[in-house]
């Protein structure tokens, strides 16, 4: 991944290759090619990860598996590229062009391969599906990872400067990837969907690969021979820069990768919480992060052209490490204030600045530890691999381990301490005099102490600030906050539950005092005569599940919930805590779609999903045609499913497109392959025998209870009528006419996720 100062890069790109101009003066148009190469690389990552999450679930285990597969592929590719770069007799630009064409070839057929793999691994054990997921991405990511050492090796033969070569190429490629992130978030994913976006990426790879091969063909043999001759005369150490231990550089690259990915995970958690989990959140944050990484690499490119003293680079490295970790820690408090007074998008600026400090570390380490020999590509690939391994460990340990044991504030402090420890460890290499070294060490310890002591007040009521935004007041405080590796859950004083910063229900099981639309789960007997086996996808507050488990006819309730934090939450709420000890309730922590794939033999009379807002990230995984067809296979004859459409015309249109029989209840859709046997008398009789937590739902000796029962039953008279009723009914025929122009949601177009 690569770069050069924007103006300088543009100037060099447009310089023509004339006559017998020597290779050092040839226009490095590969900067432009490598920028374009970075653009499809991130499009592939966004789409392929999303596609794999659809296949294998969006729970933390699946996400970790997929991300690890991507990063390990890049690391392996770096090693292979490093080995290739040592071949002085190979035309490296031609190799780069061939690699781009191979990536394009895989890109064109990748989505078909993924769909085939989905059918092949359906219901297979986790280890087997994990190996298949790795196999799906290892080939293209190895190819992508190999390009940096190949081009760095070529460029060093021209520039004789490791820092400028690594800094320039790393920045250009990273800036291309950052541009792709913003384009994907703003319009590409919304306009093109998954398959066409990948197709665009493959076309760009084809253009780059074909152009580079044509360029290579036109470059005169004398130019290439000159490069080889000059390379042969290079000494292992061309100047005074080569003084930093290579082993120490490997260690520092690994630790910086660990800290960088840890910060990225925290920043994404915080940024996503402020948006309620919009699909664009990841693309925009990753774009700002990569933009900062690229900018940091450009700074190093600039410094390496003007500074020759090795101690200056080492001291700049230590300053960058300390600055990156101080800023990394402060991103959270800065975000908390920006969302209150301006907008969460302004947070992308400090994130980019912190990432710029982090982005300067890798090219600096390469510059001060690698000589301009013909092994520069290979040695750089080792530093790159160390950085990748550190990033993988940072992703795993931070997202999978630390976030399940510590709060986000504590995780942020831990990462900052690790980063500051790296800076202190590198301090002796700055060769400060004794007084300077002691002063710097004391300041580092003082900084660490200040961060630990200030973390609590700086992060105080952070979730209240992020969710309430301008409405936040110092007196606002959530009585319950649950943080797990699967997400954050907050509860307000009135018992409203928020998951990931968005409404997720209330603690209420009373139909007499209905504050959370609890009338809908009470209505099972209205549209199904004998709901014995019920599947509930999504536990949330547990209120709906408690009502269903208390249904007089229900014998077994299978609940699938992706975030185990809800189990911690409901155990202290008397209205729903009985779920955890109810013998007919079985709770599994898993992604709902993945659970259905892995349990093909399980069938139910009713499937209930109080689905989240249709525009949230990955929401269409439970709303698409493909999911509904999967769910259909788990319904008994005459079985029904009821799920939340969150008032989306597209969700409604998709449901009535897949199922021949349907009905809307307020914002929910009831679907079935059989006619819905609606029966108001059966439902009323059921309600009169209904008990929740040992108490009757209605006490007909009370006037309000009698009035409330009449209000509930009035719902059955509202079919296709324009009436001011909270949960009116609408027939399938009426829905089809009303939503005829609405788009049908598929896994490929992802519904409304990228529209908001």
Q: What gap in Å lies between CA 643 and CA 659, rounded to an integer?
A: 13
Q: Which of the residue ranges 6-20, 308-322, 729-743 would you say has the lowest mean pLDDT?
A: 6-20
Query: Would you state the pLDDT for residue 276?
Result: 92
Query: Would you state the pLDDT for residue 21?
Result: 32
User: pLDDT tens for residues 564-616?
Assistant: 999 999 998 999 999 999 999 999 999 999 899 989 999 999 999 999 999 99
pLDDT category, 92, cuts 50, 70, 90? confident
Query: Would you state the pLDDT for residue 243?
Result: 60
Counts for the chain of helices (H) and strands (E), in that order: 27, 14
Query: Would you state the pLDDT for residue 122?
Result: 67
Query: Would you state the pLDDT for residue 23?
Result: 35
Q: Which of 583, 510, 580 is nearest to 547 (CA)?
A: 510
Query: Would you state the pLDDT for residue 489?
Result: 96
Cα→Cα distances 446→139, 210, 278, 328, 453, Å = 47, 55, 39, 17, 11
- Other CB atoms within 10 Å distance of the CB of residue 492: 17
User: pLDDT tens for residues 725-745?
Assistant: 889 999 999 999 999 999 999
Tokens (6 digits) for 282 = 């990841």
pLDDT category, 229, cuts 50, 70, 90? very low
Mean pLDDT of 525-536: 97
Element (H, E) at 68: helix 60-85
pLDDT category, 2, cuts 50, 70, 90? very low
Beta strand 533-537 pairing with 604-609: parallel
Query: Would you state the pLDDT for residue 13?
Result: 30
Domains in the chain and their CATH numbers?
1-233 (1.20.1250), 253-471 (1.20.1250.20), 503-738 (3.40.50.150)
390 pLDDT more than 90: yes
Tokens (6 digits) for 459 = 């992060």
176 pLDDT more than 80: yes
Query: Would you state the pLDDT for residue 123?
Result: 66
232 pLDDT more than 60: no
255 pLDDT more than 80: yes
Q: Residue 644 forms beta bridges with which residues?
A: 668
Q: Which of 364, 376, 380 is nearest to 164 (CA)?
A: 364
212 or 608, greater pLDDT: 608
Q: Which of the residue ranges 77-91, 112-126, 292-306, 488-502 would you say has the lowest mean pLDDT?
A: 112-126
62 pLDDT more than 60: yes
12 pLDDT more than 80: no
Calculate the average pLDDT of the chain: 88
Q: Percentage of the chain surpassing pLDDT 70?
A: 92
Q: What gap in Å lies between CA 518 and CA 510, rounded to an integer?
A: 7
227 pLDDT more than 60: no
Compute the C-alpha angle 525/536/626, nearest 5°: 105
Q: Which of 518, 549, 546, 544 is nearest to 532 (CA)?
A: 549
User: pLDDT tens for residues 286-310?
Assistant: 999 999 999 999 998 888 888 877 7
Query: Would you state the pLDDT for residue 374?
Result: 59
pLDDT category, 235, cuts 50, 70, 90? very low
Query: Would you state the pLDDT for residue 19?
Result: 32
Mean pLDDT of 97-111: 96
Measured over all CA atoms, what is the biggest interatomic distance in the chain, rounded to whole angstroms? 102
269 pLDDT more than 60: yes
Query: Would you state the pLDDT for residue 612?
Result: 92
Q: Percentage of the chain surpassing pLDDT 90?
A: 71
Query: Would you state the pLDDT for residue 117?
Result: 81
Q: What gap in Å lies between CA 584 and CA 550, rounded to an integer?
A: 10
Query: Would you state the pLDDT for residue 29?
Result: 65
User: pLDDT tens for residues 131-166?
Assistant: 787 888 889 999 999 998 988 888 887 777 787 888
Mean pLDDT of 426-439: 92
56 pLDDT more than 80: no
Burial 571-609 (b: 16+ CB within 10 A, else e): eebebbbbbeeeeebebebbbbbbbbbbbeeeebbbbbb
Burial 120-145 (b: 16+ CB within 10 A, else e): ebeeeeeeebbebbbebbbbbbbbbb
Query: Would you state the pLDDT for residue 305?
Result: 83
pLDDT category, 32, cuts 50, 70, 90? confident
User: pLDDT tens for residues 658-713?
Assistant: 999 999 999 999 999 999 999 999 999 999 999 999 999 999 999 999 999 999 99
DSSP character string of 420-471: HHHHHHHGGGG---HHHHHHHHHHHHHHHHHHHHHHHHHTTTHHHHHHHGGG
- First and final C-alpha spacing in the chain: 31
């Amino acid at each position: 991944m690569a770069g050069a100062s924007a103006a300088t890069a543009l100037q060099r790109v447009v310089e023509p290759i004339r006559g017998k101009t020597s290779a050092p003066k040839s226009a490095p148009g590969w900067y432009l090619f490598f920028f374009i190469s970075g653009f499809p690389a991130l499009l592939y990552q966004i789409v392929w990860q999303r596609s794999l999450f659809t296949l294998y679930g969006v729970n933390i285990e699946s996400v970790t598996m997929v991300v690890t597969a991507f990063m390990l592929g890049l690391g392996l590719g770096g090693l292979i590229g490093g080995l290739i770069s040592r071949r002085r007799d190979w035309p490296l630009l031609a190799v780069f062009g061939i690699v781009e064409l191979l990536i394009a070839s895989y890109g064109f057929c990748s989505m078909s391969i993924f769909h085939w793999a989905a059918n092949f691994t359906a219901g297979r054990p986790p280890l087997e599906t994990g190996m298949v997921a790795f196999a799906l991405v290892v080939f293209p990511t190895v190819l992508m990872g190999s390009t940096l050492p190949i081009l760095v090796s070529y460029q060093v033969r021209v520039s004789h400067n490791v820092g400028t070569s690594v800094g320039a190429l790393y920045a250009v490629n990273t800036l291309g990837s950052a541009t792709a992130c913003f384009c994907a978030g703003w319009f590409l994913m919304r306009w093109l969907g998954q398959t066409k976006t990948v197709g665009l990426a493959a076309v760009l790879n084809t253009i780059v690969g074909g152009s580079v091969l044509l360029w290579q063909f036109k470059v005169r043999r004398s130019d290439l021979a000159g490069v080889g001759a000059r390379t042969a005369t290079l000494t292992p150490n061309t100047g005074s820069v080569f003084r930093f231990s290579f082993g120490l550089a490997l260690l520092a690259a690994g630790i910086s990768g660990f800290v960088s990915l840890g910060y990225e995970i925290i920043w994404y958690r915080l940024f996503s919480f402020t948006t309620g989990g919009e699909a664009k959140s990841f693309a925009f944050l990753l774009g700002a992060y990569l933009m900062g990484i690229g900018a940091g690499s450009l700074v190093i490119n600039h410094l390496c052209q003007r500074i020759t003293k090795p101690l200056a680079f080492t001291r700049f490295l230590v300053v960058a490490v300390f600055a990156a970790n101080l800023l990394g820690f402060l991103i959270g408090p800065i975000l908390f204030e920006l969302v209150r007074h301006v907008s969460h998008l302004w947070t992308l600026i400090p994130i980019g600045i912190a990432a710029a400090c982090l982005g300067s570390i890798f090219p600096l380490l390469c510059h001060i530890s690698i000589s301009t020999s013909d092994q520069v590509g290979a040695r750089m690939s080792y530093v790159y691999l160390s950085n990748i391994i550190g990033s993988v460990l940072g992703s795993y340990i931070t997202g999978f381990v630390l976030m399940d044991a510590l709060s986000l504030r504590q995780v942020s402090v831990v990462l900052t301490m690790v980063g500051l420890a790296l800076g202190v460890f590198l301090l002796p290499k700055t060769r400060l005099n004794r007084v300077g070294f002691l002063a710097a060490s004391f300041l580092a310890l003082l900084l660490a102490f200040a961060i630990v002591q200030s973390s609590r007040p700086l992060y105080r009521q952070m979730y209240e600030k992020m969710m309430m935004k301008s409405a936040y007041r110092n007196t606002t405080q959530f009585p319950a906050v649950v943080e797990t590796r699967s997400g954050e859950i907050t509860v307000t004083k009135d018992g409203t539950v928020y998951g990931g910063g968005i409404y997720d229900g209330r603690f209420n099981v009373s139909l007499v005092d209905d504050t959370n639309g609890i009338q809908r789960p009470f209505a099972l007997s209205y549209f199904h005569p004998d709901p014995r086996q019920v599947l509930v996808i999504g536990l949330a507050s547990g209120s709906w599940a408690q009502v269903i488990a208390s249904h007089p006819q229900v014998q077994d309730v299978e609940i699938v919930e992706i975030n185990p934090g809800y189990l911690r939450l409901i155990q202290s709420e008397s209205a729903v805590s009985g779920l955890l000890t109810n013998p007919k309730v079985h709770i599994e922590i898993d992604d709902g779609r993945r659970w259905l794939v892995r349990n093909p033999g399980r069938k139910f009379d009713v499937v209930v999903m109080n689905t989240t807002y249709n525009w949230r990230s990955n929401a269409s995984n439970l709303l698409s045609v493909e999911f509904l067809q999967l769910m259909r296979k788990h319904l008994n004859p005459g079985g029904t499913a009821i799920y939340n459409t969150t008032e989306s015309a597209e969700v409604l249109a998709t449901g009535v497109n897949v199922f021949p029989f349907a009905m809307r209840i307020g914002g929910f859709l009831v679907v079935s392959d059989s006619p819905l046997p609606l029966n108001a008398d059966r439902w009323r009789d059921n309600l009169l025998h209904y008990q929740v937590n040992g108490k009757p739902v209605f006490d007909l000796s009370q006037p309000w209870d009698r009035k409330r029962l009449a209000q509930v039953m009035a719902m059955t008279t509202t079919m296709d009528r324009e009436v001011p009723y909270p949960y009116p009914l609408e027939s399938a025929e009426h829905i089809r006419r009303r939503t005829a122009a609405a788009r049908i949601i598929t896994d490929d177009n992802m519904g409304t996720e990228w529209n908001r």
